[in-house]
Amino acid sequence: MEDRRVFLFASQLAICATVSALIAFLVAYNVRQTPSVASVQAPPLVVSMPPDIPDVVSAVQPSIVAVDVAVDEEFVPKQLLDTLPEPDLSEIHDGVRRVSSGSGFFVTEQGLVVTNRHVIDIPDVPANKHHISIVSHGGQNFDATVTAIDPVLDIAFLSVSSTRGIPFPILSFASSSRLRVGETVLAVGNALSEFPNTVTRGVVSGLNRRILAEDDFGEEMLEEAIQTDAAINPGNSGGPLLNVYGKVVGMNTAVAIDGQSLGFALPSDVLLRSIESVKLYGRVIRPFLGIRYELREEGGAEILSGVGAHEPAIVIGSPADHAGLREGDVVIAIDGVSIDDVHTPVQLIGKHQVGDRLHIDILRHDIPMSFDISLVEFVP
C-alpha cells in the first residue's frame, strides 16, 4: 500500500497564503411516474437547517487558543536554525527565541488544553529550556506547562491556570465515526502563526486515510486520518476541525505540500481516548502489543523490521515477543476482524485497554496459527 507523505507545519513560521473554496449543495427529489398505476409522489424531503456559520464561529472561538513555544537561544536545534527566518525583535526577548507556534483548545474548565505533540515537543532541548505560552481569543497570555504527551499519537496536553478563577470555555465533541464524505467542516486556528482565530471552510474529502507525516525532526504514521479541503496552514496544527454545529470532529495535524487543499486531521474518537485517559490518570495510557508491520495490498499486515536497530519487527520483552510472534508472520485478523487498510492493527489495538486479551490470527509460511495475547501499557 502506498503511503501519502505530508508535512507537519507548526515549527515553520514562513508566511504564505491559501484560498479556501466554499462549496454549496443543491438537494432535489424526483416525482416518479409509472404508466400502469396511479402517479405516486415521493414524500417531502425534510432538511434540518444547521445553525448560521457566523454564530457557530462566535460561540467556539473563546475556547480556541494560540500556542507559542520559545527556547533559550543557545539551545535552538540546528534543524530549526536552517529553516527559521531571520528573527526580529518580537521573536527574541531576554535570550529566548520563538521556534514553534500552533493552536489548541480547552477540553476542561480547569485549563487543560489539547494540541499537537509536534507543536510543543522540540527534540534535544531540555525541558527547563522550553517556554510555552498560550494566547486566548481575547488576547490574554498564560504561561503553560506540559501535562502529558501521548506516547503513540501526535497529541499533547498543556495546563494553564485562570488568574481570576473563572472557568475556561470548552468545546463539545461529536463522534468522528458518523462523519460522511462531503460533509461541511470548519478549521479554526492560528494561521501562519500570525493570524489567530482564522476560520476556513471546506468538506470532508476522505476518511480513514493512512499517511506518513514528517517535520524537521522526523516522520510518523497517522492512522484513521480525516482528509479535508478546508485550508490548513502553518500554525493551524492542534486547532479543532468542527462540524457545522461547532462540535469537534478532529484535530488539524498535517497538510500535503505537493498538492492543493489536502489537509489531514486526527479523528475525534481517537482524540477523546487520550483526553479521558489524562482526566482519569494524569497521563495517556496506550495498550501495547510490540510489533512493527506493513499492510499488504491483498490484506493482512506483515510483521517486518524497519531501517536500523530502532525499528525491530518484534520489540524484545513485549507481549508479542513473549507470545512467540516472529518477523515475517502475517496478521490476518484481530478478534475476528480482518486486517485491511481500514481495520489496521493500530486501530483495532487502540480500542482496547491495558490488560485486555486479544485473539490474533496469523499466517506463518502460509500455515494458519492463532495466539491469545494480553496487552500491556506502552512505555516509550
Set 237, 274, 277, 318: catalytic member: 237
Set 154, 215, 269, 329: catalytic member: 154
How are beta strands 301-303 and 330-334 bridged, if at all?
antiparallel
> Is 154 annotated in the active site?
yes
Q: What is the DSSP string of 61-122?
A: GGGEEEEEEEEEGGG--HHHHTTSPPP-TTTEETTEEEEEEEEEEESSTT-EEEE-HHHH--
> Is 176 annotated in the active site?
no
Closest CA relative to residue 254, chosen from 223, 232, 230, 270:
232
Torsion of CA 113, 119, 122, 128, to 10 degrees: -30
244, three cell numbers:
457545522
Q: CA-CA distance, 245 to 60, in Å (whole number)?
A: 10
> Is 130 annotated in the active site?
no
Own/partner pairs for 368-376, CB < 8 Å, 24+ apart?
Answer: 369/329, 371/323, 371/324, 371/325, 372/323, 373/289, 373/319, 373/320, 373/323, 374/319, 375/287, 375/288, 375/289, 375/319, 375/349, 376/287, 376/288, 376/318, 376/319
Question: Which positions are annotated as active-site residues?
Answer: 118, 154, 237
